[in-house]
Chains A and B, each alone.
Chain A
Amino acid sequence: MSLEAPVVPAPPARPALQAKDYKSELKPIWCPGCGDYGVLQSLYRALAALGREPHEIAFISGIGCSSRIPGYTTAYGFNSVHGRALPIAQGVKLANPDLLVIVAGGDGDGFSIGGGHVAHAIRRNIDLTYLVMDNQVYGLTKGQLSPTSPRGLTTVTSPFGSLEEPINPLLYVLAYGAGFVAQATPADMPGMTSLIEEALRYPGFSFVNIQSPCVTFGEEDQQLRAHKARMKPLAGLGHDPGNQLRALDLARAYGTELYTGVFYRNPSPPPTYDALVRTRQSELARERRPRERVLDRFLKP
């Protein structure tokens, strides 16, 4: 009888994942020319670069054109309720911290109906990536003002031009302390793919504002051709993504300048909420008491 350990054949090497592995059978029904087609392609590629299996990923969305994204992937998905993608995503992440959780939606879903949730997701610093496809209009419901519509915009709900200032999504998330904030456009596919990948790799709440044009109700100066002409990559401007104050300053130009790239990346990411929960759970597990004794801690010695 041999004392040597039996030779166990090594498992076959897993073939590298490709963008097509994340593409579902469901065909997108966005308008031809919609910016979201490019976003979806970038997302597939970023996921392939990351190398996470589809079953290790959960896409959570609200309601709107861009919120259809979960259905177009082979990952787990939940096309949820208008404005409620972030609370659901946080619950998913806490229930299964091993999942890569991606939240996708539009500017209306994120900053109007769901606006109140953004601040809390950021301050908790739950490890998820929020991709907002910002087209400055409600496209699915046929062209009403959205929270990022520029002042003066004429739509079916503002026939004489909007009187409101738009929300600035970049300034909003930076002000609440998001650890990773970037902006992209499908006019620069390689750049957008890299940014999405970087956001997915960031350990904590990460946010990418994607200027994804609405070809049916969007303005001419918001279309990809215009983006190509006026986008300014932050890397080319020598911006240091570790400089939060400078990021805030640059973010103020939302609506006038189209900066693309990383505005801010926290150089020392703090622990995530999900990591803190795990730590708390393991600490409490050490002090575990029998059920009949759980109230003892409230008794005076």
Chain B
Amino acid sequence: MKQHWLTRPETIRKLWFGSCGVLVLTVLAQLPFHIKAHFPFEGWFGFAAGFGFLSCVAMVLLAKLLGVVLKRRDTYYDD
């Protein structure tokens, strides 16, 4: 089966580089576009970026932890 161009390793590598560039740009964009801070911490440089990243890590880890207790095979209720 012919590999779609989007799935080729070199495209994926380029996508990673491009995405990292965009991430840097969004943080730098805070310099010309002033973020109106309702709370003091909101105006810190890159606050939203760091907060978004860390809260996602926390949620994934929490889900993983809860999964240990809550997960059952998907035929659990069929038995």
Say whether A associates with B. no
A interface vs B, CB < 8 Å? Answer: none
